[in-house]
Amino acid sequence: GYVKVINNADTSKSTLVVNTETLQFADSSETIQARDELKVLAGSYLQVLGRQADVYGFDYFGDLQSKGYSLGGIAINMIKSDEAKARGFVLTGDAVNDVEMLYKAILGRESDAGGKAAWVQQMQSGGMTLEQVANAFMVSGEMQKHYLVQTGWDFLL
């Protein structure tokens, strides 16, 4: 993970410590903890963009999530990026296409007919938005195997 370390003697001075799980001091150590949602976010970078997160992008999306932005909304933003488009993920506004893109981008696989039909029906009936479907994918049992725990983070600088 990463943490901003502030100098107690001069709080205007700080250092960003990246790819660190523990800070060791002369008299103690401090484990860097991360919210569970950040494991989802780190995993979605690998799934959607095919790479580890960059520290500033991760910080940006992590901040959005902590302010109430859904994981599904974050996934959609990632899928709409040029980087994801270059990997073949394109959202068109058509429920059939967009649900298939969620399967491919978030879960890393083709859809199954029954699952896809159920999600498309939910969207076409107005029961769920694309963001809500994406959020369901992001917190699904299937996506959990793609969550990246803190010791697996290797942020790009």
The chain-wide mean pLDDT, for the chain, equals 85
pLDDT of residue 62: 87
Beta bridge partners of 5: 15
Answer yes or no: is pLDDT of 1 > 60: no
pLDDT of residue 21: 62
- Token representation of residue 39: 């494991």
Domains of the chain by start residue, with CATH: 2-31 (no CATH), 36-149 (1.10.3130)
pLDDT of residue 53: 85
pLDDT of residue 148: 57
- Token representation of residue 104: 């491919």
Q: Using the 8-state DSSP alphabet, how is residue 104 labeled?
A: I
- Which residue has better confidence, 132 or 151? 132
Q: Which of the given ranges, 46-50, 140-144, 150-154, has the highest pLDDT on average?
A: 46-50
- Amino acid type, 44: S
Whether the CB-CB separation of 10 and 22 falls below 8 Å is answered with no
pLDDT of residue 39: 84
